[in-house]
Amino acid sequence: MRKIRWVLAHEPIELFLRAAKRFTQEVNERAAGRLDIEYMTLSEYAERYNGGKKVTKHELLDLMESGAIEMSQMYTTWLGERYSKDMRVLDLPFLFRDHDHAAAVLDGEIGECLLDGLSKTGVKGLAFTYSGGFRMIPAVKAINSVADFEGLRLRSNRSPVAIDTLKAVGADPVVMELEDISGAVQSGEIVGGESTYPRFYGLKQNEVCDVINDTGHSLFLTSIITSQKFWDSLEPGLQAIIRMAASNAARSERVESVEDIALVQQRCSKEGIEVVKLSADEVEKFKAATVPVYTKYEREFGGLVARIQQTQ
């Protein structure tokens, strides 16, 4: 029996448990007795397999490349930073028209090509998950217009595309981890930052932010990944089962992430958290302001942007 150690590296853990559980269920149904799947947190992995020595999420890809773990989920921004710059295209503002468009891209030929781009490394991409969906900005200030971004210190992820997007509307991006938003807002370092609805309560952003700016300017994406060494050691039949289970788990997880949005909005309404959406005119101004971001990265992404935009 082959062992799969699936390590959950990011918070809130509940978001990442979904895909792992669904994947395990399907694999057990299709390949009973052939694969032993154990999903665990970083601390649990450290205790069981690393002699109690602490492991951080920043070490996860090293563990996977070495074959110390077999599977996980990882931010596409991190995969783009470390392995394939093409992954950064997914951070472009207003790239996806809606969830249906995103699914057509991520589950189609373009998504497959992006995942295949990781295979030259020690990691293989299997499927795209949301672990959040469209981004929003929890903050202590309402953003009612593009002009309101001017001078705001806002948390950004590490992608240069994301950083340039905030700069394009006049904000002052501060790169930090999602988990650090609450503390940074509380200390006054930032007034808010990019996040997603499922993380608002999960990461206690509600305790310091009384506004959700529902900008929906880009998608927060993760990917189910596996060790290339492990993958290459599997017979084709098991590879097919794992690939299908990962794909189905990803689709299910994306549906649940979208459903989370309405639940969080309902709770916000009850608890007095203001949800602010830009008007149609302001959204168009936002899009116009970020055209230079597309121009800047056009050469890097080649025809990939056009192919995504033309996908139906």
Per-residue pLDDT band for 41 (boundaries 50, 70, 90) equals very high
**Backbone φ and ψ of 265, nearest 5°:** -60, -40
Q: What is the pLDDT of residue 1?
A: 87
Please report where in the chains the tokens 């930090």 appear, as a residue.
Answer: 176
Per-residue pLDDT band for 173 (boundaries 50, 70, 90) equals very high
CA count, 13 A, side-chain hemisphere, 81 = 14
- Closest alpha carbon to 129 in 8, 254, 24: 254
d(CA 278, CA 286): 9
Instruction: Give 105-159 pLDDT, tens digit per residue.
Output: 999 999 999 999 997 788 999 999 998 899 999 999 999 999 999 999 999 999 9
Check pLDDT > 90 for residue 32.
no
Whole-structure pTM value: 0.94
Structural domains in the chain, CATH included, are 2-131+221-262 (3.40.190.170), 137-218+266-310 (3.40.190.170)
DSSP 247-269: HHHHHHHHHHHHHHHHHHHHHHH
d(CA 172, CA 190): 9
Check pLDDT > 90 for residue 104.
yes
- Closest alpha carbon to 48 in 71, 27, 68: 68
